[in-house]
Chain A
Amino acid sequence: MTHSNHRLGSPVALLRDWVVFNTDARPLDPRKHERYMEILAAHNPVCLACRRIERDKTTRYRYVRGWEETRNNVRLAYSTLVEIGDLRDIKWGSAVYDDPNDVKAVISELKEADLGISVVVSGLLDRVRSACEVAGMEPHTVNLSAGTHGRLELLPEARILEITSMCGHHMVSPYLVAHMAREVKARHLKLVEASIELARQCTCNFFNVERCKDLLAAIAEV
């Protein structure tokens, strides 16, 4: 799956949109994942998520910046950064950042930690390459986005796609974006509440709520 490969937006907008996550070709020592999550959590993530082995099942934990400010936060059942940082028996983790300097620091610390975990960084390719150089390494493999083709008239409008493409599985409905924009315009919801409601639909927690707030404000004209 290529769920973070096609995030749409201008290079300037994408400077605020980075995803870091791991995938394991085979099971690894959970202690390595714990250190990995500590590093992700330490650099001001917009979103943080992990999966934890609990008896015979896997449970997902996630944090999204600003969830404490929402009025329906009990139902959302998010965790704090500290709570996620304290978890053990982790097997997968991801983070979203809105500052390229945070990503650079994460890459350098992961290199230094030498955990042997396969890590993917989604974002502006030249910036990732530069960050790798600073850390003293070279990128291994890239996945490039060669555009969308076919019946382009079927696509949702571009400014909505900038929001929905932040969930690569497209669990964030374009119609929900329009609905949330109306709710914000009518002052039924705050921008942060509407953005987190959209983020809540993204199973992988790759949805950048900070970027969404700006995009949604433009659509809602607030």
Chain B
Amino acid sequence: MNIDEGRCTGCGRCLPYCPVVAIALKPSLRRTPSVAIINQDICVECGECRKSGVCPTGAHIQPELGWPRVLRAMWSDPIAVFPKTMIPGRGTQEMKTNDVTNRFREGEVGIGVELGRPGVGATLADAEKVSIRLAAIGVYFEAESPWTDLINIRSGVVNDPAVRSERVLSCIVECKAPLERTPEIYAALMETAGEVDTVFTIDIISRCRGGEPEVNPILEVSGIRVRPNGKTNIGLGRQQP
């Protein structure tokens, strides 16, 4: 995102709308009192400053983003569509359509690692550290995930080193494995927690049996704590004729 200095009045209204504090007021030599500028290293291209409509002069200008900067919008702007899957957002439909797609079968666990979430942001180098760790212990990376499209699925290493420095609001590394490997995957992620320069939040996806998540007994034995709230696919979807 850029700011048209000719239009900016320096009112500062847009500053609090930026989720990553990329906008600041700077004194201008040509005018007083100041003008808003966007730190391009920090900006994650979520477009929130423009979409808020808070600028009285429409000074926020969205330029066309080239490679690899376009990846920032991909993982930061909820309405950006990933070309390969045509799904808006950072990931896949994961369990939301599992009653139709059977993406996660009985006996499998889905793991989502949400780098930079909540509210911190992350570089793709952090996501690479996680995917390298997961690749080392052997998981099945979700083929339709935008992140998987960027990496070598055997090593977890990004195919293009230029993407590492790109900063995003949140990037999800999605994978699945046999259910009994949940503690091993969780332990690997805990080791990675000390290596990343951000936070990550973990999703554990499981089919239900008798109303209970299949993974629950494994979580209890392993001491893996989960929050009392989450998402439930209530099972009303079906293949349409």
Which chain A residues have a beta carbon within 8 Å of chain B's beta carbons? 1-8, 11, 14, 17, 23-26, 28-29, 75, 107, 110-111, 114-126, 128-129, 132-133, 137-152, 154-156, 161, 164-165, 169-176, 178-179, 200-201, 203-204
Shortest beta-carbon distance from A71 to chain B in Å: 15
Contact B117 A140 (CB under 8 A): no
Tell me which of B61-69, B92-100, B132-140, B158-166 binds A. Answer: B92-100
A118 touches B226 (CB 8 A): no
Instruction: Kindly identify, within residues 1 to 29 of chain B, every residue whose CB is under 8 Å from any CB belonging to chain A.
Output: 15-19, 21
Contacts A169-B170, A171-B19, A171-B46 supplied; 10 other A-B pairs, CB < 8 Å: A25-B237, A119-B237, A120-B233, A121-B234, A125-B230, A142-B206, A143-B232, A147-B202, A149-B199, A169-B89
Chain B 206-235 residues near chain A, CB threshold 8 A: 206-208, 210-213, 215, 219, 224-235
Across the interface, do A142 and B213 meet the contact criterion of CB distance under 8 Å? yes
CA gap between A14 and B17 in the complex, in Å: 26
**Which B residues are closer than 8 A to A by beta carbons?**
15-19, 21, 46, 48, 51-53, 78-79, 89-101, 104, 110, 112, 114, 117-120, 169-170, 172, 186, 189-190, 193-194, 196-208, 210-213, 215, 219, 224-238, 240
Q: How far is the CA of A99 from the CA of B227 in the complex (A)?
A: 20
Q: Pick 8 A–B contacts, CB within 8 A, sort by A.
A: A137-B235, A141-B206, A141-B232, A142-B231, A144-B215, A144-B230, A148-B199, A169-B78
Which of A142, A170, A174, A176 is within 8 Å of B170, CB to CB?
A: A170
What are the 3 A-B residue pairs with the smallest beta carbon separation, nearest first? A118-B237, A140-B235, A1-B89
Assess A149 versus B202: contact at CB under 8 Å? Given A25-B97, A139-B208: yes
With a cutoff of 8 Å between Cβ atoms, the chain B residues found around residue A129 in the complex are 211-212, 232
Task: Check if B100 sits within 8 Å of A123, measured CB to CB.
Answer: no
Nearest B-chain residue to A133, judged by Cβ: B211
A116-B238, A151-B198 known; A156 vs B119 contact (CB < 8 Å): yes
Residues B208 and A149 in contact, CB atoms below 8 Å apart: no
B4 to chain A: closest CB distance in Å?
Answer: 21
- Closest Cβ of chain B to A38, distance in Å, is 15
Chain A nearest CB, measured from B196 CB (Å): 5
In the complex, are the beta carbons of B203 and A146 less than 8 A apart? yes
A179 CA / B199 CA spacing, docked (Å):
24
Contact across chains for A141 and B118 when beta carbons are under 8 A apart: no
Given contacts A23-B96, A117-B237, A141-B95, contact A125 B201 (CB under 8 A): no
